[in-house]
Amino acid sequence: MFLPRQKLSSGFGASIPSMSTPYAVADVAALVGEPTRAAILLALLGGRPLPAGALALEANLSAAATSLHLSKLTQGGLLSVQKEGRCRYYRLANDDVAHALEALGAIAIANRPTRALSPERAAFRAARTCYDHLAGALSVSLARHLEREGIVRSANSRAYEVTDRGAHWFAEEMGIDVASLGRERRVLARRCIDVTEQRPHVGGALGAAMLERMLTLRWVAKISGSRALRTTARGQEALSRLVGLTGASAA
């Protein structure tokens, strides 16, 4: 995601010089690349709006410093803010921002040496939320099955398209109206490269609808204090029946 050129500040010091290019890639990179701002953005990658106080704890900042960083991120188009009473709640501006963060994360860890995973990291890798859609090993396996069965197919390196058979399958098996999703302004089915698996999963409006249905049907459940999800016994049975997925953690 690239934003129109504008004059932004790098941290608390001087403003970033104006660029001669039509897209201010360096400006956006400066916003994301500052460690405390990166911590704020990653804290919001789970899709849940958070107040400034919670984000200050995530970034280990004072209230005043957090306010300044939140202002920069909002002005830069990376965050949106909603006022409820006396509180302000912040979230990622849209799924383009979430996708950009996931893509940067995939690049960042691509060449890191593998390590033994803690139980928490193993759960995070198995299944988690990415903004408003499913990510992790479960999401990659699901995308692979949908593509193999002709339910979706790669339109290009950045998007899937849903086949006629797929539209019928989503309606019958998951209660998702693909035609209705296609009328939304956002991408229907984004082909996201999963950070931990380095393979594509389904994002966009379809990915969001799939995760919403899986939560509603109690196929997966959120783990308190984490973006990780656990596959329930009901979900294990349903996913095994519908798409042949087995081996996900159940509880």
Give 198-223 pLDDT, tens digit per residue.
Answer: 899 999 999 999 999 999 999 999 98
Query: Please, what sign has the CA dihedral across residues 90, 94, 97, 101?
Result: positive
pLDDT reported for residue 46: 79
**Contact by Cβ (8 Å): 145, 166:** no
**Contact by Cβ (8 Å): 195, 134:** no
pLDDT reported for residue 246: 63
Quote the tokens at residue 174.
């998951």
Distance (Å, whole) CA 71 – CA 140: 35
CATH number for 25-93 (one of 2.70.240.10, 3.90.245.10, 1.10.10.10, 3.40.50.300): it is 1.10.10.10
Q: Within the chain, which residues score under 50 in pLDDT?
A: 1-21, 249-251
- Model confidence over 90-136: pLDDT tens digits? 999 988 888 888 878 777 776 666 666 677 878 888 999 988 899 99
**Contact by Cβ (8 Å): 152, 207:** no
**Contact by Cβ (8 Å): 130, 102:** yes
Each domain of the chain, given as residue ranges in start order, spans: 25-93, 118-243
pLDDT reported for residue 178: 96
**Full-model pTM:** 0.70
Question: Letter for the amino acid at 31?
Answer: L
